[in-house]
Amino acid sequence: MINSSHQTSRRFNTGAVLFEIVLALVLFTFSVTIISSSFSASLRSMDRMRHELDGANLATSTLAEIELGLKPLETAPPTVFEPPFEKWTWQIEVTEPSEDLNMGGGLSLVEVIIQSEELGRETRLARMIRDQASPLLPDE
């Protein structure tokens, strides 16, 4: 009888070890799945933020070029940027404000639109800009 109970105990220990190994593999697989999905989400978020930053920087630099007179202060159709930003296009919309928003004459509402169809992004930046050709003070 002693021999029979020893074999039962040994089989139970072997079954318990096998159960522990299977449980450890399941927990390991679950952990790897969670970690890889969160890592993937982090990479997607980082790409989204990088594209948003690219659009904002391109809009700011395009508006600065208009203020410096490097680009004309007039409505322009969508135009592709030079490499490495060939995925992006820029467009300018100039609007003459109403009399109560003019504040001394010569101001125009300039909106820069930066788009990337491929990335599905659009950035708009608007500012009131005085036309360089117009005088600062209106003639009396």
Decide if 119 is inside a domain: yes
Q: Is 20 helix (H, G, I), strand (E, B) or coil?
A: helix
Q: What is the pLDDT of residue 13?
A: 72
Low-confidence ranges of the chain (pLDDT < 50): 1, 137-140
Decide if 55 is inside a domain: yes
The per-residue DSSP string of 40-65 comes to HHHHHHHHHHHHHHHHHHHHHHHHHH
Decide if 140 is inside a domain: no
Decide if 23 is inside a domain: yes
Q: What is the pLDDT of residue 140?
A: 41
Decide if 104 is inside a domain: yes
Decide if 138 is inside a domain: no
Q: Is 10 helix (H, G, I), strand (E, B) or coil?
A: helix
Q: Cis peptide before 78, with omega less than 30 degrees from 0? A: no
Q: What is the pLDDT of residue 48?
A: 93
**What domain count does the chain have?**
1
> For 103-119, how does the pLDDT look when each residue is reduced to its tens digit (9 = 90+)?
666 788 899 999 999 98
Q: Is 140 helix (H, G, I), strand (E, B) or coil?
A: coil
Residue range of the domain that includes 36: 2-130
